[in-house]
Every structure is written in C-alpha cells, then in structure tokens.
C-alpha cells in the first residue's frame, strides 16, 4: 500500500470512528502544512542530535502511578519497559486518522462559549478514577494495589490564592500559591497567555520537554512523550480557554507516533474513541465522546506484560466529570 493509499484509509477510519464534524473540515492544505512542519522538525532535530555526544542512560526515571498506600508496607514505584528515550527519526508522524480526530476535538473546543473570567475567581475541575502502585507485602513479594481517586480542585485564575483540593470529602490547601503558573502547574491566566498558533505552541512545549527530557538528561520519558503528556495534563487538570484548548489539540497532531484507538472506556464507564501514543510499554490515551468530540478522560494501558500486570491492564484511569469557573473556592458550577 502506497503512503497516499494508507493515508486515505486512515482518514476513512477516522470518519467511521466519529460522526461528521459540526463545523467545516479544515482545508487539505492546512493539514498538509502541519504534516510538512512535523517532517521538517524531525529532520532538524535529527541533524541537531547527530552532532551531540551519545546519550548515557544512568538510571531509570520513576513512573509515579499513585500515592503510597498500606501502612507499614514499603511502596515501590518503578519505570516500565526498556527505558530508552524515543528518537524522532525512528517514529512515524502522527497518523492521518489521529490528525483528523484532533482537528474535530479542536473545532469542538473552539465553539465552546468563553466564560467571562476575572481576578478573584477559581477554576473548578472534578475527576474520578484510579491509580496503581506496587507495594511490598509481608512475605517480601510485590502486590499491585489500586487506589480509587476522586478529586475536586479549585485553582485561582490568576494564581494569587492557594489551591483548594478535596479528596474523599476532606479539604486541604496545597502549599504555596500557583503564582503566574507554568506548564506543569498552570493557571487560567497562564493558559490564556499561551500562543494560539499551533506550531508556535508546539515549539514552546516541545522545547521545554527537550530541556528536561532530551539528550543529556537522565530522563527515560523522551521529549516527544513528555510533550504529549504535558498537553494532556493542560487539557484535563484545569479549565482551559477555548482558543487555547483548540491550539493544544492541533499542537498534539504535530507529535510523532500519535495514533487512534477505536474503542476506549474512561473511569466513569463511558466508551469513546481515543487519540493515543505508545511509549516504554504503555499507551497513553485521551478518550473523546464520539458524538461531541469532547474530552471524557485519560488512561494509561499496558501494551506489554510486566510487573504492573498483563497487557491490556489500565494502570491509571481518570474521567473528567465537571469543570467551570466559580467565584469562591468550595463552590461548584451551576447545573
């Protein structure tokens, strides 16, 4: 099958997975320009890396899948798979099907009415789900434990007040204040100030991931996987302005190795179609509603047997239940 035939087949697959977009599809030249940008970026990074010393992996970065549990038992959180940093020239561009699904998610996000937000307000996000940990038992073996996670969080839109978090009905203020915010701890104002051009936004996120997870670091995540994780966190953990959310989905289409999963289920039991990326023995999935292309949740699924379980096991799963803007910490959006 030629590349053109494969791309056409992927687009037909995307059309079967989700209904027609509620807005006009992007012009073919727009999608083609994004793919061309990605290919040139891969070429640039490959040439840049070829001039650098070979990466030495000194150790394996821990994969934090959950908090410590079981009083008196040591909890060990380990990495999955071989620990090799992904090399862009070995990974294909995002599939045509994933690019189309992400564009539909972007169109859905862009048509969401933008709330009037002002200083003193909070973003509210409610999620349910589970995380997994490996815990040492009394016999010296390891048990895989699942922790149910139900979290409500209120984050100051301008970062001037502490974040309120509610778990299992207990409220706590997270230490410090978010301040202006950053990629791994964003505020609404921080997200609103990000570039809304997908290519510029991708460069910003990818450059930050390169510094922390690129060649010369001890990270086994790799910059491409970290960029995918970062975008997923920005879309799920706080309320994101519509135009920023749309740009984030389109930026994700520039990450190599992104593909689709025809059927995935979130932590609330809702089935949808997922945009996913496989790395180091696991697949990170963003699950979307088939009818609306709205984000339902995210999960991490093993693609290889290992200490965490058999292939197909969802070691983490989070469902987005509610979100919005409220006037005070502790309030919930009106129904």
Q: Does residue 214 contact residue 200 with C-beta atoms inside 8 Å?
A: no
From first CA to last CA, the distance across the chain in angstroms is 51
The pLDDT value recorded for residue 135 is: 81
* Average pLDDT, integer, range 70-91: 41
Report field, pTM of the whole predicted structure over 0.85:
no
pLDDT in tens, 108-158: 999 999 889 999 999 999 999 999 888 888 887 777 788 888 999 999 999
The pLDDT value recorded for residue 3 is: 60
pLDDT in tens, 12-59: 665 666 655 544 455 455 555 555 554 554 454 444 444 333 322 222
Q: Where are the domains of the chain?
A: 3-61+88-132+147-326
Cβ-Cβ contacts under 8 Å for 283 (sequence gap 6 or more): 261, 276, 277, 300, 301, 302, 303
The pLDDT value recorded for residue 33 is: 53
Q: Does residue 315 contact residue 281 with C-beta atoms inside 8 Å?
A: no
DSSP state of 138: T
């Amino acid at each position: 099958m030629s590349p053109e035939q494969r791309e056409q087949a992927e687009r037909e697959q995307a059309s079967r997975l989700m209904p027609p977009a509620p807005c006009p599809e992007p012009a073919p030249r727009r999608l083609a320009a994004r793919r061309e940008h990605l290919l040139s970026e891969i070429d640039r990074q490959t040439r840049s890396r070829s001039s650098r010393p070979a990466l030495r992996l000194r150790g394996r970065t821990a994969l934090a899948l959950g908090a410590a549990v079981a009083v008196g038992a040591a909890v060990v959180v380990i990495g999955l798979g071989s620990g090799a940093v992904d090399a862009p020239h070995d990974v294909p561009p995002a599939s045509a099907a994933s690019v189309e699904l992400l564009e539909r998610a972007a169109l859905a996000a862009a048509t969401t009415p933008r709330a009037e937000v002002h200083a003193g307000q909070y973003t509210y996000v409610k999620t349910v789900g589970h995380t997994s940990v490996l815990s040492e038992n009394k016999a010296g073996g390891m048990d895989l434990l699942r922790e149910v996670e139900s979290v409500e969080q209120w984050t100051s839109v301008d970062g001037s007040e502490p974040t309120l978090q509610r778990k299992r009905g207990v409220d706590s203020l997270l230490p410090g204040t978010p301040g202006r915010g950053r990629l791994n701890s964003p505020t609404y104002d921080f997200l609103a100030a990000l570039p809304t051009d997908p290519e510029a936004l991708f460069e910003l996120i990818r450059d930050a991931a390169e510094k922390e997870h690129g060649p010369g670091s001890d990270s086994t995540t790799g910059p491409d996987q970290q960029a995918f994780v970062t975008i997923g966190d920005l879309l799920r953990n706080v309320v994101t302005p519509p135009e920023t959310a749309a740009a984030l989905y389109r930026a994700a289409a520039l990450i190599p190795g992104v593909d689709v999963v025809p059927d995935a289920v979130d932590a609330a039991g809702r089935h949808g179609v997922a945009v996913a990326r496989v790395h180091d023995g696991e697949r990170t999935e963003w699950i979307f509603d088939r009818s609306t292309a709205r984000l339902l949740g995210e999960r991490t699924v093993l693609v290889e047997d290992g200490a965490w379980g058999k292939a197909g096991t969802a070691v983490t799963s989070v469902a987005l239940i509610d979100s919005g803007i409220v006037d005070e910490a502790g309030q919930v959006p009106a129904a």
